[in-house]
Structure 1
Amino acid sequence: MTLGTDPGTDLGAGLGSPAAAAAATDAATSPVVTGDGTTAGSRAARRWRRARWTLLVLGVVVLVVAVLAVTRPVTSSTPYAPDNPGPDGARAVAQVLGRQGVDVEHVTRVADAVSAAGPGTTLLVTPSSYLLPEQADALAGVEADLVLIGADDLLVGAATDGDAGRVHPAATPGSPVAPGCDLPVARRAGTLQLGAGLEANPDASRDVTLCWTADDRAALAQVELPTAGGTRTVTAVDDAALVRNDTVLDDGNAALALGLLGAHETLVWLVPDPLDTSAAGEPSDPGGAVLPSWAGVVGLWALLVVGVAAVWRARRLGPLVAEELPVVVRATETTRGRGRLYRRTRSRGHAAAGLRAASAEVVARRLGVPRSADPTTLTEAVSRATGRPTRDVADLLYGPPPPDDGALVELARRLDTLESEVHRS
């Protein structure tokens, strides 16, 4: 450890600890005072005063968000989802079914839908153009009554064994159309104005019931298929408007939706996730019960934001370029500038520590005191050389910071006098 003349380095730190200096001045029980005139307690109190309002505001924000998260009903913005209250959602139909005693189970994975849709239940598949062929086959193989809304050719063909299909584009009649079939649910719904884009396969091996036909295209197609325990019904509705919140009250849409989806006590409501690749027999994703459905999208977005920020703020590395300094700063100007900074910030403790460190180095070199000596050794050596009491020397070299500018000036004068006395000894 050196006896440098840097004003920020107190010689007392080089010749011993502050605890030893305090013992030399009989002040061991007082708080440890650093070079800037502060203690651990005063620094903690100052930091608390600065940060308390920020912490208070953050605490209030966290509390408000927590209350809103607990009290706000769980909703989503996914089209055709039973928890979506928006115009493209289907919360109205789901709530009415719940009040009628139907247990609505909302799922987003094909594997979960296949495992939940057993005999005596209804499986609703909302529009999706991202189903894989194996997923369509898995949904078509369930033993539950199957209701397909806005399904594509792949799913309609797999679910009806090719007896029914979908043609494009779907034609919407200009006025409500009568059902034109004998299905009880169709007669209860009455006239409707739904898009018609379904047709029966001319080579169908089973009877296909078509309802609300227009230009040889139907809005609804139904097929009875055999199962291990009996039969099940597969119903395809080309237009998903009958479950949307903004069109469910048009004509007889609500009656048709409640009749098709409320036939059993359990309704499995599948809103396929575009990122889902599961099929029948696969276990459920363990992360799905912990993370919300939007966690993956938010994670990808956050990763993208972090990458853009890293590219934006990253340091541009390149070859080193040597540049000449525009001016040469003299040592005296640096010293005066540091002194002005101390004065502006009222850092009397730092200024006093620099003066004491310089004086301690001068007198220690004059008296031949080694750098490894503690404050007590230096104090006793200076006392013998000048004839001053040991307590006065210790207070002068290792005392507390001056309380004001006048005391700082007086300290500088007394240190200069001490150096002169040591030189004369």
Structure 2
Amino acid sequence: MTATQELRTTPRGPGLRARARGSRLVIIAVALLVGLVVLLVASDRDADIVPLSTWNTRASGTHAVTEILRDHGVAVRQVDRLAQARIEDPAATTLVVAEPSRLSSAQLASLDAYPGDVVVLGRVRAVLPSLGMDVRQTTRLAGGAVDAGCADPDARAAGEVAFSGAALETSDPDVALCFVDAGAAAMARAEVHGRTVTVLTASEPLTNAQLDRYGHAALAVRVLGAHPDVVWYVADGLDSSLLTASGVGGDDAPTDVETVPDFLPPGTGSAFYALALAVLVAAFWKARRFGALIAEPLPVVVRASEATRGRARLYRRARSTGRSAASLRAAAALRMGRRIGVARGESREALVAAVAHASGRPARDVDRLLYGPAPADEAALLSLISELDALESEVHRP
């Protein structure tokens, strides 16, 4: 390369900010796609978060109990609707009802007619009269580990169990109260109409977080695994179906009970979340953003006189005599001030004194015309216009 040759440089391209501004739609689309993928992945992970559900692998679930029971040869089947139970052999099936306080009176009646063993977990104050047990819910348990304190073999095999929550008491000698602390028990068991009814007021010992403590696992296996089959139902306030089992409701009861249909297809919740995310992104994209003003040419040229007439027609249609008078007074004061050399930022007193001196009128009359009250009607507005014209002509008179 010789000294006379010119050095040529490649022109710089647009910066990162300019390229990002030009591809804004692409960035929004990519962000929306990434958010949708994250949402779907998060919704697939630990999808069941219902407490005491056998499908829930979190601390509040009972998935660990299910696995232990299956290791001992017990088949566990959870149902979403009470009518989906369809128990063919109640003598070989334990019905587990979690959160029984959510059951309706009709559901409690069908539960009372079930001839097989029943285990209820959780708040039971409203359920106790329907179970045929003379048991009352009283004070709360302290929450520490307590011994079985009864002759029930399942409770004695568990040894110490830590309960917290509501407590039970009874005066019926046929009801066995176990895990008694200061006269209040956490477990009640009795033979009612040829079946065993077990009430556990606190369900925490059966959850994934507490199952490996004390004798919780032994209690779960002994109480829930007494039969080869377990039907698990977590009560839902939106479910109004009744229990379906052999022997429930008598011979005239229908063998098929239609469950409450679920009108929403699977994945509806994730779709709603994705739609809400898309709406938020679109709102952020289309929202008003404040920045530097940009001058844009009007599609047509509008003359000043036409704009003035149009505004006057709007004022007249709205009967806004006060706003019309204020505009006329401001324009007249501006013209007279320029004529006599009064700056625009001068005070009211200075302008009135200068106009009064130039027109020869009293200052009170000038102040009334320029700063007086708004006219009450169109006739008063026309009178004010005439007086302003007269005052302006007097000031402009040589």
Name the TM tier (shorter chain): 0.5 to 0.7
Which one of the candidate residues 211, 218, 223 is aligned to 1:255?
A: 218
User: What residue in structure 1 maps to residue 259 of structure 2?
Assistant: 284
Query: What is the CA distance between 1:165 and its match in structure 2?
Result: 2.8
Kindly state the Cα deviation for residue 326 of structure 1 after the two structures are TM-superposed: 9.3
Q: Equivalent residue for 2:154? A: 185
Q: Per-residue deviation at 1:273? A: 2.0
Local SS of the residue matching 1:170: strand
* Equivalent position to 1:199, from 147, 165, 169: 169
What's the offset of the Cα at 1:156?
2.3
Check conservation: 1:225, 1:234, Cα contact below 8 A: yes
Moved over 4 A (4+): 60-70, 72-75, 114-117, 294-303
Q: How big is the alpha-carbon RMSD for the aligned residues of Structure 1 and Structure 2? A: 4.3
The 1:79–1:302 alpha-carbon spacing in structure 2 relative to 1, beyond 3 Å, is farther
Name the TM-score, length of structure 2 as normaliser. 0.53
- 1:142 partner letter: Y
* Residue in structure 2 matched with residue 211 of structure 1 by the alignment: 178
What corresponds to 2:85 in structure 1? 113
CA distance in 1, matches of 2:236, 2:35: 31
The alignment status of 1:130 with 2:102, answered yes or no, reads yes
Structure 2 letter corresponding to 1:233: T
Separation of aligned partners in 1, 2:73 and 2:40: 31
- C-alpha change, 1:150 and 1:66, in structure 2 (3 Å) is closer
Task: Check whether the contact 1:117–1:123 (CA below 8 A) recurs between aligned residues.
Answer: no
User: Following TM superposition, by how much is the alpha carbon of 1:209 offset from its aligned partner in structure 2, in angstroms?
Assistant: 0.6
What is the one-letter code of the residue matched to 2:196?
A: T
Distance in 2 (CA, whole Å) between partners of 1:287 and 1:299 is 16
Is the 2:133–2:192 Cα contact (8 Å) retained in structure 1?
no
CA distance in 2, matches of 1:300, 1:123: 36
Aligned to 2:301: 328
Question: After superposition, what is the alpha-carbon deviation per residue over 1:9-42, rounded to whole angstroms, capped at 9, x for unaligned?
Answer: xxxxxxxxxxxxxxxxxxxxxxxxxxxxxxxxxx
Question: Does the 8 Å CA contact 1:148/1:156 hold for their aligned counterparts?
Answer: no
1:291 is displaced (CA, Å) by 3.7
Is the 1:197–1:238 contact (alpha carbons within 8 Å) kept by the matching residues of 2?
A: yes
- Whole-angstrom CA distance in 2 between matches of 1:298 and 1:133: 36
1:141 positional shift: 1.9
One-letter code aligned to 2:162: Q
- Within a 5 Å distance, the mapping from 1:395-414 to structure 2 comes to none
Question: 1:218 & 1:99 partners in 2: Cα distance?
Answer: 30
Partner of 2:11: none
TM-superposed CA distance for 1:240, in Å, is 0.6
Distance 1:280 1:192 in 2: 31
Quick one: structure 1 residues 162 and 301, their matched pair in 2 at CA, closer, same or farther if it must change by over 3 Å? farther
From 148, 151, 172, the counterpart of 2:142: 172
8 A contact 2:187–2:199 mirrored in 1: yes
**Residue type matched to 1:210 in 2?**
L
| Map of 1:153 onto structure 2 | 125
Give 1:210 deviation, angstroms. Answer: 0.7
Instruction: Report the AA paired with residue 120 of structure 2.
Output: L
Q: Deviations over 1:239-271 (max 9, x none)?
A: 111111111122111110111111111111111
Distance 1:215 1:286, change over 3 A: same
Question: Which of structures 1 and 2 has the larger relative contact order (alpha carbons within 8 angstroms, sep 6+)?
Answer: 1
Instruction: Assess if the C-alpha contact under 8 Å between 2:82 and 2:241 holds in 1.
Output: yes
Contact 1:97 1:258 in 2 (8 A): yes
Whole-Å Cα distance in 1 between the matches of residues 155 and 242 of structure 2?
Answer: 32
Q: Is the 8 A contact 1:114 1:142 kept in 2?
A: no
> Does the C-alpha gap of structure 1 residues 300 and 188 become closer, same or farther in structure 2, counting only changes over 3 Å?
same
Shift in Å, 1:272: 1.5
Deviations 1:280-332 (A, max 9, x none): 463124548x844x8589879979x99xx99xx9xxxxxxxxxxx895179xx
Q: Tell me the alpha carbon deviations over residues 215-242 of structure 1, each in whole angstroms, 9 at most, x when there is no partner.
A: 221111001122xxxx211000111111
Structure 2 Cα separation of the partners of residues 296 and 143 of structure 1: 38
Of residues 77, 90, 114 in structure 2, which corresponds to 1:142? Answer: 114
Write the distance in 2 (CA, Å) between the matches of 1:224 and 1:211.
15
The structure-2 alpha-carbon separation of the partners of 1:80 and 1:67, relative to structure 1 and needing over 3 Å to count, comes to: closer
For 2:301, give the aligned amino acid: V
Q: Is the 8 A contact 1:197 1:217 kept in 2?
A: yes
Contact preservation (8 Å) 1:89, 1:244: yes
Q: 1:277 to 1:67 in 2, by over 3 A?
A: closer
- 3-state SS of the aligned residue for 1:119? helix
CA distance, structure 2, for counterparts of residue 276 and residue 197 of structure 1: 28
Bigger shift: residues 268-277 or 232-241: 268-277
How many angstroms does 1:74 deviate by?
6.9
Conserved in 2, the CA contact under 8 Å of 1:104 and 1:266?
yes
Report SS of the residue matched to 2:101: coil
Alignment CA distance shift 1:129-1:262 (3 Å): same
The residue matched to 1:153 in structure 2 has which SS?
coil
CA distance in 2, matches of 1:223, 1:121: 17
Q: CA deviation at 1:68?
A: 6.3
Number of equivalent positions: 252
- 2: CA distance between counterparts of 1:301 and 1:64? 9
1:237 and 2:200 equivalent? Answer: yes
